[in-house]
Amino acid sequence: MKKQRHHFYALIFLIALLSFNSCENAVDYLEDDTSSSGNKSETNITGIITDELGQPSSGVTVTVEGNNSVTNGFGVYFFEGVKVNRSRFIISARKQGYFDAVKAVTFIKTGTCHYSNLRLIPKIISGSFLSQNGGIINLNNGSSISFPQNAFIDQSGNAYNGNVKIYAKYLNSDQPDYIEQIPGGDLRAIDL
Protein backbone atom coordinates (compact mmCIF):
# COMPACT_ATOMS: atom_id res chain seq x y z
CA MET A 1 0.00 0.00 0.00
CA LYS A 2 2.78 2.42 0.98
CA LYS A 3 4.70 1.60 -2.22
CA GLN A 4 1.56 2.22 -4.31
CA ARG A 5 1.09 5.60 -2.64
CA HIS A 6 4.69 6.60 -3.50
CA HIS A 7 4.11 5.54 -7.12
CA PHE A 8 0.89 7.58 -7.17
CA TYR A 9 2.69 10.68 -5.81
CA ALA A 10 5.47 10.22 -8.33
CA LEU A 11 2.98 9.88 -11.20
CA ILE A 12 1.05 13.01 -10.16
CA PHE A 13 4.26 15.00 -9.84
CA LEU A 14 5.54 13.73 -13.20
CA ILE A 15 2.30 14.86 -14.86
CA ALA A 16 2.66 18.26 -13.18
CA LEU A 17 6.25 18.59 -14.39
CA LEU A 18 5.34 17.64 -17.94
CA SER A 19 2.78 20.43 -17.99
CA PHE A 20 5.55 22.97 -17.33
CA ASN A 21 8.10 23.85 -20.00
CA SER A 22 11.61 22.43 -19.60
CA CYS A 23 12.23 22.30 -15.85
CA GLU A 24 15.91 22.27 -14.95
CA ASN A 25 17.26 20.24 -12.04
CA ALA A 26 20.99 20.70 -12.43
CA VAL A 27 23.26 23.50 -13.58
CA ASP A 28 24.27 22.86 -17.19
CA TYR A 29 24.98 26.46 -18.08
CA LEU A 30 24.38 29.98 -16.86
CA GLU A 31 22.73 32.40 -19.20
CA ASP A 32 24.18 35.82 -19.95
CA ASP A 33 20.78 37.45 -20.31
CA THR A 34 21.16 41.02 -21.50
CA SER A 35 17.47 41.36 -22.39
CA SER A 36 16.30 41.38 -18.76
CA SER A 37 16.12 44.60 -16.81
CA GLY A 38 18.71 44.92 -14.06
CA ASN A 39 19.90 41.69 -12.45
CA LYS A 40 16.49 39.99 -12.53
CA SER A 41 15.01 37.50 -14.97
CA GLU A 42 11.62 35.81 -15.17
CA THR A 43 11.37 32.10 -14.52
CA ASN A 44 9.11 29.34 -13.23
CA ILE A 45 10.01 27.43 -10.06
CA THR A 46 8.58 24.17 -8.73
CA GLY A 47 9.43 21.33 -6.36
CA ILE A 48 8.23 19.18 -3.48
CA ILE A 49 8.45 19.95 0.22
CA THR A 50 8.76 16.83 2.39
CA ASP A 51 8.85 16.19 6.12
CA GLU A 52 11.62 14.44 8.06
CA LEU A 53 10.33 11.04 6.90
CA GLY A 54 10.35 12.05 3.24
CA GLN A 55 6.55 12.33 3.05
CA PRO A 56 4.98 15.23 1.09
CA SER A 57 4.03 18.13 3.36
CA SER A 58 0.92 20.16 2.55
CA GLY A 59 0.15 23.69 3.73
CA VAL A 60 3.78 24.84 3.68
CA THR A 61 4.30 28.52 2.79
CA VAL A 62 7.07 28.77 0.19
CA THR A 63 8.65 32.17 -0.56
CA VAL A 64 10.80 33.34 -3.47
CA GLU A 65 11.75 37.01 -3.93
CA GLY A 66 8.78 38.18 -1.83
CA ASN A 67 6.28 35.95 -3.69
CA ASN A 68 4.39 33.25 -1.78
CA SER A 69 2.96 29.88 -2.72
CA VAL A 70 1.43 27.16 -0.54
CA THR A 71 2.09 23.46 -1.10
CA ASN A 72 -0.82 21.28 -2.16
CA GLY A 73 -1.74 17.84 -0.77
CA PHE A 74 1.21 16.30 -2.61
CA GLY A 75 3.72 18.79 -1.15
CA VAL A 76 4.11 20.49 -4.55
CA TYR A 77 4.66 24.24 -4.87
CA PHE A 78 4.82 26.30 -8.07
CA PHE A 79 5.75 29.86 -9.06
CA GLU A 80 4.99 31.07 -12.58
CA GLY A 81 6.73 34.07 -14.11
CA VAL A 82 8.51 35.15 -10.92
CA LYS A 83 11.44 37.58 -11.24
CA VAL A 84 14.60 36.33 -9.54
CA ASN A 85 18.24 37.32 -9.30
CA ARG A 86 20.08 36.09 -12.40
CA SER A 87 23.02 34.67 -10.48
CA ARG A 88 21.39 32.98 -7.48
CA PHE A 89 18.08 33.15 -5.63
CA ILE A 90 16.69 31.87 -2.34
CA ILE A 91 13.70 29.58 -1.77
CA SER A 92 12.38 29.37 1.79
CA ALA A 93 9.69 27.14 3.25
CA ARG A 94 7.87 27.76 6.53
CA LYS A 95 5.47 25.58 8.51
CA GLN A 96 4.60 25.74 12.19
CA GLY A 97 6.41 23.11 14.26
CA TYR A 98 9.38 22.96 11.84
CA PHE A 99 12.60 24.89 11.32
CA ASP A 100 12.45 27.16 8.28
CA ALA A 101 13.92 25.36 5.27
CA VAL A 102 16.10 27.55 3.05
CA LYS A 103 17.79 26.69 -0.23
CA ALA A 104 19.94 28.77 -2.56
CA VAL A 105 19.40 28.01 -6.24
CA THR A 106 21.74 28.90 -9.08
CA PHE A 107 19.85 30.60 -11.89
CA ILE A 108 20.01 28.59 -15.13
CA LYS A 109 18.14 30.27 -17.97
CA THR A 110 15.27 32.67 -18.61
CA GLY A 111 12.09 30.91 -19.67
CA THR A 112 12.94 27.59 -18.05
CA CYS A 113 11.48 26.04 -14.91
CA HIS A 114 13.82 25.64 -11.96
CA TYR A 115 13.16 22.49 -9.92
CA SER A 116 14.13 22.37 -6.24
CA ASN A 117 13.01 20.16 -3.32
CA LEU A 118 13.26 21.09 0.35
CA ARG A 119 13.10 18.95 3.49
CA LEU A 120 11.49 20.18 6.73
CA ILE A 121 13.08 19.35 10.08
CA PRO A 122 10.91 19.22 13.23
CA LYS A 123 11.53 22.13 15.62
CA ILE A 124 11.72 20.43 19.02
CA ILE A 125 13.09 22.07 22.14
CA SER A 126 16.47 20.63 23.08
CA GLY A 127 16.78 22.34 26.45
CA SER A 128 16.53 25.58 28.37
CA PHE A 129 18.44 27.57 31.00
CA LEU A 130 18.64 31.03 32.59
CA SER A 131 20.72 33.35 30.43
CA GLN A 132 22.67 34.77 33.39
CA ASN A 133 23.79 31.22 34.29
CA GLY A 134 24.62 29.95 30.82
CA GLY A 135 24.09 26.31 30.02
CA ILE A 136 24.98 23.19 28.09
CA ILE A 137 22.50 21.57 25.72
CA ASN A 138 23.08 17.86 25.05
CA LEU A 139 21.85 16.50 21.71
CA ASN A 140 20.70 12.94 21.04
CA ASN A 141 23.83 12.05 19.03
CA GLY A 142 26.14 12.68 22.01
CA SER A 143 27.24 16.18 20.96
CA SER A 144 26.58 19.29 23.02
CA ILE A 145 26.33 23.06 22.66
CA SER A 146 27.77 25.28 25.38
CA PHE A 147 26.50 28.80 26.08
CA PRO A 148 28.52 31.05 28.43
CA GLN A 149 26.92 33.26 31.11
CA ASN A 150 25.19 36.40 29.81
CA ALA A 151 25.67 35.40 26.16
CA PHE A 152 22.31 36.76 24.97
CA ILE A 153 21.12 40.27 24.16
CA ASP A 154 17.69 41.67 23.26
CA GLN A 155 16.78 43.55 20.06
CA SER A 156 18.05 46.82 21.56
CA GLY A 157 21.47 45.32 22.34
CA ASN A 158 20.87 45.10 26.09
CA ALA A 159 21.82 42.04 28.12
CA TYR A 160 18.92 39.58 28.25
CA ASN A 161 18.14 38.12 31.67
CA GLY A 162 15.61 35.34 31.62
CA ASN A 163 14.82 31.87 30.39
CA VAL A 164 16.41 30.79 27.08
CA LYS A 165 14.90 27.94 25.06
CA ILE A 166 17.19 26.20 22.57
CA TYR A 167 15.89 24.37 19.51
CA ALA A 168 18.62 22.34 17.81
CA LYS A 169 19.00 19.34 15.52
CA TYR A 170 22.18 17.47 14.69
CA LEU A 171 22.60 16.98 10.93
CA ASN A 172 24.91 14.14 9.91
CA SER A 173 26.85 15.00 6.75
CA ASP A 174 27.24 11.26 6.00
CA GLN A 175 23.47 10.86 5.45
CA PRO A 176 22.30 10.80 1.80
CA ASP A 177 19.60 13.45 2.46
CA TYR A 178 22.04 15.85 4.20
CA ILE A 179 22.09 18.35 1.33
CA GLU A 180 18.26 18.57 1.42
CA GLN A 181 18.33 19.33 5.15
CA ILE A 182 21.22 21.76 5.50
CA PRO A 183 20.09 25.41 5.45
CA GLY A 184 21.24 27.03 2.24
CA GLY A 185 21.59 23.75 0.41
CA ASP A 186 24.94 24.41 -1.27
CA LEU A 187 27.20 25.44 1.63
CA ARG A 188 28.45 28.51 -0.25
CA ALA A 189 29.37 31.77 1.47
CA ILE A 190 31.00 35.08 0.63
CA ASP A 191 34.65 35.27 1.65
CA LEU A 192 35.33 38.81 2.81
pLDDT per position as a tens digit, 50-90 = 998 989 999 999 999 999 999 999 999 999 999 998 888 99
Contact 50, 119 (CB under 8 A): yes
Q: Which residues on neighbouring strands pair with residue 70, listed in sequence order?
A: 61
Per-residue pLDDT, averaged over 174-182, amounts to 78
For 131-167, how does the pLDDT look when each residue is reduced to its tens digit (9 = 90+)?
999 999 999 888 999 999 999 999 999 999 999 999 9
How far apart CA 145 and CA 161 sit, in angstroms, is: 19
Lowest mean pLDDT of 3-17, 112-126, 151-165, 171-185, name the range.
3-17
More confident residue, 126 or 37: 126
Q: What is the pLDDT of residue 183?
A: 76
Q: What is the pLDDT of residue 50?
A: 94
Lowest mean pLDDT of 12-21, 27-36, 98-107, 174-183, name the range.
27-36
Residue 39: pLDDT above 80? yes
Per-residue pLDDT, averaged over 25-29, amounts to 39
How far apart CA 66 and CA 101 sit, in angstroms, is: 16
